[in-house]
Structure 1
Amino acid sequence: MQRLRGRRRILGIGGLPGIALTAEDVRILAGPAEFRSTLLEQIAQARRRIVLAALYLQDDAAGREVLEALHAAKARHPGLQIAVFVDWHRAQRGLIGKAACTGNAALYTEMARRHGPGVPIRGVPVQTREWMGVMHLKGFVIDDCVLYSGASLNDVYLHRGDRYRLDRYHLISSRALADSMAALMTRVLGNSAAVSALDCESRQKTAALRPAIGRFRRQLATARYGAPATAGVGDLSITPLLGFGGRDNELNRAILQLVQRARRHLLLFTPYFNLPGPLRRAIEARIRQGCRVTIIVGDKTANDFYIPVDEAFTTIGALPYLYEANLRRFCKQHQDAVDRGLLDLYLWRHENHSYHLKGLLVDDDYALLTGSNLNPRAWRLDLENGLLIHDPQGRLASQHRAEVDRILQHCRRLDHHRSLESVASYPEPVQRILRRLARTRADRLLNQVL
């Protein structure tokens, strides 16, 4: 793993080291069901290593299925290296808005007790409090392949049941990429005293980890993926990027440079419409310069925090309405660009399913795969990563078009800001919360940590 000390030379997009690929090395999966089957197939075929990073691995049918598959793979091949990294805080609590419980760590302990050691699950504390930052790295390294998605591991992300949460899914065959991503997880995360076992009865207390967490954060601030520059001019290539903190954030810098270099078309996916200021201003500059911008966001009813009107309301249920209010203001501000076709805003909605897509497509030659929600929290607080694909010959263009076409099947174009519901039509509990936030100007503060 490459670490640079002192002032690091700031590289533009074109100067980043790229790992050479062929078009056959990249496969875009069609949806969450194929993502689940591919993950399980890859685990079953693994012979050398399985290193997984996700926000969480849930105590539900899909989470248990994945854990059982990992233990079965270890039993078949005792020399198989396995490591699972999830967020430390998220693993030790229940779902937001649900009853209190011991969290997913209880499942990990049960599995370890039943199957024995061999599938270590480590909790990564990016901060001492969850609201101050989480481990949001994504990527499953299995032998010489990387299965990359913004999805975590549970029933809805893996479509094990009636509902699914849509994300983006890429299977990339590249030993160099797999080595780079596995090295960062095992050497940086795995060797930190702050990163502790979750699959045991006597877990560390967060308070006891505070000094180690401080050292870990300083290490993350200088960490980078080590990527051999094997791609030549004109080659299809991929570069892993790390993002942490509000300063000298490699992933954030690449996102801004991607937007700024767009000339013909910029396509952005985000699940929560709450763009960081620098990203919003860069997008607005592209619109003014005549670049066509498309943003695909989930309808408020496709937000994972949405509470149907016939169910008991809790405060967290106001979030989708807050995001819709952000979108309404943005659309109103740029209504002329919407009318002229320079700005296309699409809302995704499919029955009772939810939307979790993230990333960028730029001028048919760059694509960013990322777990970052492209919001202020991801920009400043969470540990994020992404894979930057440079495709100057358009070898993956047909796969990208097919992916976008599948997504647009369940989208409607927002042709006017009045097409969105007004605050006056929201449920009364939501109206009260939004009025209180606006009166105290707390909505602006809230947007910075969501």
Structure 2
Amino acid sequence: MLTTLRRAGRRALSTKAAVSDFSQALARRQPTFPVPANNIRILAEPREFYTSILDIIGRAQRRIFLSSLYIGSSETELLQALQNALERKPGLEVTIQLDLNRSTRPGKSSARLLLPLLQAYPGRVHVNLFRSPHLNGIMAKLVPPRFNEGWGTWHAKIYGADDDIIIGGANLSKVYFTNRRDRYIHLQQNSRLADYCLDFLKTVSTFSFRLLPSNDAQPSSQYSYPQEDYLVDWPDSQTHPHQIHTKVESAFKTFQASHLSATPSESNDVHLHPLIQGGQFNVREEEETLHSLFDYLKTDETRPLLDLTSGYFNLYKPYQKLVLDAKNINTRIVAASPLANGFYGSRGISNRIPEGYTILERRFMKEVRRRGSSVELNEWEQEGWTYHAKGLWLTPNGSQDPVLTLFGSTNLNARSADIDTELSFMMVVPPGKEAEEKDSDANMVLRRRLAEEVASIRAHAREWRGEERTVRPLTPFMLALVKDKL
């Protein structure tokens, strides 16, 4: 499958030419959305992300669609904004897609938080809960609720209303709105892209459970079950929820094929290519695309700069190979320091997770040194903050501004590749005008904003200190138990 994207011949190219060729080839096999650069906002802070979500909900006329791992139990303001929108516009519908295991934990869960909306607006609010089939059999009964998401989650982050969409890596919870660093890109007034995102969530709903109030709901199948004061309803009586692999693979591939453009755009707009990664369902578009990108960059003689970041740095082995083998690319990586890891100081065995990442980083850096690769690893730390940003940026010869970025839900690690279900976007920005008109050229302004995004992340990056840290004896054993899929 990868070969359909790779170049037939070899010739020396600049980074911009290689990326342009790559994007044109990608458009022939992936959905492609031209977006004017003026309609793309790079949001800088958690608070800006939150206020932007409240703003698009507050202005919604027809539809609101939200996809997240979960909604935090204290997000009453967000729920009130949804209720106000439903009251204001009687024809408006709300579609919410969450992860079942994370959203139905005992106590004040996302499911219980959403029940009042379902009860007050029947037929207008739809809540769907995806459950990874990777956890099945006796283990599905034995694994406690706090740990069952370790076998895979619904991880895509999409926040949309009418024709506005915000894509990033943040969940809908207080910490992501206040002091957890992430990435967020607001795509404004694009009906085609908004339709795509909502259609994607509707596709996922066909193999997800439905959340229903238990007072008057009837189970749709023998696989539905009551929990607390709601019903977790499985709509497909012909398919066991643990055996959806073939159905999901077919649905995703059919969905992507239906959104291919007959004639890829050659406009000067920014091109967005959505990538679905569902490794357990044999859907690996992110993986195929990154292999293709590196293949196009092999003969780039200008030594481009690749910036890569992940809050949970356990770079997927095939991606490690791409980075380590790319002798003509300078790579800078930013990972969370242990203090900036969201699991730092947590209770129980999960407090060893930051140590697990230290072990994984040591292994990676050992290989970097062995090969003599042009790779630099830094760790992000800011007092009172945690780190959750993820993605990559590609900059020609390291002295200009990025022409390409990958953003969305992927952590670029083994979990994202193999067991979580992700949606990310490859954004390719045309070069624009490099001369005196660059301040008024929308593409150049967007590229500068991307450069500022990288700089703001690296402002809190310091030299990696993993070799100096202490790792307790049982941590390597814990890492082996989860097969390095932290």
TM-score where L is the length of structure 2: 0.77
Tell me the equivalent position of 2:246: 218
Match of 2:26 among 7, 16, 20: 16
Distance 1:445-1:365 versus aligned 2 partners, 3 A rule: farther
Match of 1:190 among 201, 205, 214: 205
* CA distance in 2: counterparts of 1:266 and 1:256, whole angstroms: 14
Tell me the equivalent position of 2:333: 295
Indicate the SS of the match to 2:276. Answer: strand
Distance 1:445-1:11 versus aligned 2 partners, 3 A rule: farther
Distance 1:176-1:113 versus aligned 2 partners, 3 A rule: closer
- Are 1:55 and 1:138, in contact at CA under 8 Å, matched by a contact in 2? yes
Can you list the C-alpha shifts for 1:309-359, whole angstroms capped at 9, x where unaligned? xxxx52111011110121123223324888x9x322121111121111111
Tell me the equivalent position of 1:321: 355
Tell me the equivalent position of 2:368: 334
* Matched pairs, number: 408
Moved more, 315-324 or 217-226: 217-226
* CA distance in 2: counterparts of 1:48 and 1:267, whole angstroms: 39
- Are 1:156 and 1:165, in contact at CA under 8 Å, matched by a contact in 2? yes
Moved more, 217-226 or 148-157: 217-226
- 1:35-434 aligned within 5 A: 35-60=49-74, 63-93=75-105, 101=107, 103-113=109-119, 118-127=124-133, 129=135, 130-159=149-178, 164-173=179-188, 174-186=190-202, 188-192=203-207, 194-197=208-211, 200=214, 201-204=229-232, 211-214=239-242, 216-222=244-250, 223=252, 224-225=255-256, 226-228=259-261, 231-232=265-266, 235-245=269-279, 247-262=282-297, 263=300, 264-286=304-326, 289-307=327-345, 313-335=347-369, 342-363=374-395, 364-393=402-431, 395=443, 396-414=446-464, 419-422=465-468, 425-426=470-471, 431-434=472-475
* CA distance in 2: counterparts of 1:205 and 1:70, whole angstroms: 23
- Are 1:36 and 1:158, in contact at CA under 8 Å, matched by a contact in 2? yes
* CA distance in 1: counterparts of 2:410 and 2:322, whole angstroms: 17
Indicate the SS of the match to 2:230. Answer: coil
Indicate the SS of the match to 2:411. Answer: coil
Can you list the C-alpha shifts for 1:94-142, whole angstroms capped at 9, x where unaligned? xxxxxx6353212122444467663332212232633332111221121
Tell me the equivalent position of 2:143: none
* AA partner of residue 16 (structure 1): L
State the shift of 1:408 in Å: 1.6
Can you list the C-alpha shifts for 1:146-178, whole angstroms capped at 9, x where unaligned? 11111110110111xxxx111101001221111
State the shift of 1:196 in Å: 1.2
- Are 1:337 and 1:343, in contact at CA under 8 Å, matched by a contact in 2? no
* AA partner of residue 92 (structure 2): L
* CA distance in 2: counterparts of 1:152 and 1:118, whole angstroms: 23
- Are 2:71 and 2:171, in contact at CA under 8 Å, matched by a contact in 1? yes
* AA partner of residue 91 (structure 2): G
* CA distance in 1: counterparts of 2:61 and 2:234, whole angstroms: 35
TM-score where L is the length of structure 1: 0.83
* CA distance in 1: counterparts of 2:463 and 2:238, whole angstroms: 47
Distance 1:183-1:30 versus aligned 2 partners, 3 A rule: same
Tell me the equivalent position of 1:97: none
- Are 1:189 and 1:195, in contact at CA under 8 Å, matched by a contact in 2? no
State the shift of 1:377 in Å: 1.3
- Are 1:365 and 1:391, in contact at CA under 8 Å, matched by a contact in 2? yes
CA RMSD of aligned residues (A): 2.8
Runs of 5+ consecutive residues of structure 2 not aligned to the other structure: 7-21, 136-148, 215-228, 396-401, 433-442
- Are 1:84 and 1:120, in contact at CA under 8 Å, matched by a contact in 2? yes
Indicate the SS of the match to 2:324. Answer: helix
* AA partner of residue 167 (structure 1): D
Tell me the equivalent position of 2:219: none
Indicate the SS of the match to 2:393. Answer: strand
* CA distance in 2: counterparts of 1:270 and 1:380, whole angstroms: 16
State the shift of 1:240 in Å: 1.4
Indicate the SS of the match to 2:193. Answer: helix
Distance 1:360-1:135 versus aligned 2 partners, 3 A rule: same
State the shift of 1:231 in Å: 2.2
* CA distance in 2: counterparts of 1:359 and 1:209, whole angstroms: 39
* CA distance in 2: counterparts of 1:304 and 1:409, whole angstroms: 20
State the shift of 1:234 in Å: 5.2
Indicate the SS of the match to 2:166. Answer: strand
* CA distance in 1: counterparts of 2:112 and 2:368, whole angstroms: 49
Indicate the SS of the match to 1:203. Answer: strand
Runs of 5+ consecutive residues of structure 1 not aligned to the other structure: 1-6, 94-99
* CA distance in 2: counterparts of 1:69 and 1:237, whole angstroms: 32
- Are 1:120 and 1:199, in contact at CA under 8 Å, matched by a contact in 2? no
* CA distance in 2: counterparts of 1:248 and 1:190, whole angstroms: 17
* CA distance in 2: counterparts of 1:149 and 1:265, whole angstroms: 22
* CA distance in 2: counterparts of 1:105 and 1:259, whole angstroms: 42
* AA partner of residue 205 (structure 2): G
* AA partner of residue 433 (structure 1): L
Identity between Structure 1 and Structure 2 (%): 25
Distance 1:298-1:79 versus aligned 2 partners, 3 A rule: same
State the shift of 1:22 in Å: 1.4
* CA distance in 1: counterparts of 2:447 and 2:232, whole angstroms: 48
- Are 2:210 and 2:234, in contact at CA under 8 Å, matched by a contact in 1? no
